[in-house]
Amino acid sequence: MKVLVKVPATTANLGPGFDALGLALNLWNETEFSTTNDGKIVVEVEGEGKGILPIDENNAVASAALQIYKQAEKPCPGLRIHCLNRVPLGSGLGSSSTALLTGMLGANALLGNLLTDEEVLKLAIETEGHPDNVAPAMLGGLVASIVYEDRVISLKLPARANRSPIHVTIVLPDFDFPTKQARAILPKQVERKDAIYNISRAILVTEALRTGDLDLLGKAMSDALHQPYRIPLIPGAQAAMNAARHAGTAAVALSGAGPSLIAFSSKEDPAVGAAMKLAFAEAGLTARIFELSTSYEGAEVTFV
């Protein structure tokens, strides 16, 4: 039996939507699972992370798969897992969430879908610790999440632009900025004015993405809770954001915790990515550019 799992990259926070908003992007990891009946776990990695990621049960995809077997109280018969990774590691594009969901969905399918999609998503969120990447990767589109009575509620919001498709430019500098470090630098408490600043803008960001109003998105895509603390630690990030605006992008922000930046435009414009890449180069960092669209579809599982 073979199962193919496709999971998209995601961008979280979206400026003011700290730990609450996430958006799926058309950059997909594809992973094929097959049972081997020898009790062994063998992982093959192609693309991003090749030669870096573990190729045994310590691989994040394999570990997540084994978590499902344990949850189902079923022995793992042995797995061969072939990963075609397109989502860069440690990029702010949800690579850990894609790995987590991939493993869980693949194992669940091999077990005959003992868990519902909702149960898989709940388990993935509990494992990840926050929903802002996992939820849009699973559901697709723009997703808002809250914690209610110790459980997470994630809702896919209407975000199919009524005006024109929104184009996304991701610029990823070659800079190690682990999420754990990015979270550790944030203050434990925030001022009321900063909370109000973000709440009001997060509402407008969701409306701007729903309607495709890039002018409104540009006005709302700013933050007082995390970006002021993280951007100064990424060489060239502030200059790259300024360069993106000067090049004509409607809005720009950190993608997740960074180090990548995400810029929103009405159409693909190579000048935006080039300007951001140059700003990072002037700070001593090389950078990669990804020209993407938003994905209204989430994770896919098929039998092959």
Q: What is the pLDDT of residues 270-304, one digit of tens each?
A: 999 999 999 999 999 999 999 999 999 999 999 98
pLDDT confidence of residue 158: 78
Amino acid at 205: V
The model's pTM: 0.94
Q: Give the strand pairing for 79-85 and 41-47.
A: parallel
Question: Two tokens at 259?
Answer: 């180090």
Stated as kind and residue range, the H or E segment containing 110 is helix 95-110
What does the pLDDT read at residue 255?
97
* pLDDT higher than 70, residue 241: yes
- Sorted by sequence, the CB contacts under 8 Å of residue 63 that are 6+ apart come out as 57, 103
Instruction: Tell me whether residue 164 is exposed, middle or buried, using C-beta atoms within 10 angstroms of its C-beta: 0 to 12, 13 to 18, 19 or more.
Output: exposed
Mean pLDDT score, 170-194? 94
Residue 161, pLDDT > 70, answer no
pLDDT at 7: 98
Strand order in the sheet with 167-173: 251-254, 261-265, 167-173, 287-293
Distance between CA atoms of residues 205 and 184, nearest Å: 26
Q: What's phi and psi for 97, nearest 5 deg?
A: -70, -40
User: Looking at residues 233-256, what average pLDDT do you find?
Assistant: 97
Domains and CATH numbers, the chain: 2-157+295-303 (3.30.230.10), 167-293 (3.30.70.890)
pLDDT of 163 higher than 60: no
Average model confidence (pLDDT) across the chain? 94
pLDDT of residue 160: 59
CA distance 37 to 40: 8
**Residue 193, token pair as written in the block:** 């004015």
Asked if 82 contacts 95 with a C-beta cutoff of 8 angstroms, the reply is no
Measured CA to CA, the distance from residue 62 to residue 246 in angstroms comes to 44
Rounded to the nearest 10°, the torsion over CA 206, 210, 215, 219 is 0
Element (H, E) at 137: helix 134-139
Task: Please answer whether residues 24 and 141 qualify as being in contact, where contact means their C-beta atoms are separated by less than 8 angstroms.
Answer: yes
pLDDT band at residue 164, thresholds of 50, 70 and 90?
A: low
The residue assigned the tokens 């950078």 is 287
Structure tokens, 199: 């709440």
| Residues 135 and 100: beta-carbon distance below 8 Å | no
* Three-class SS state of 146: strand
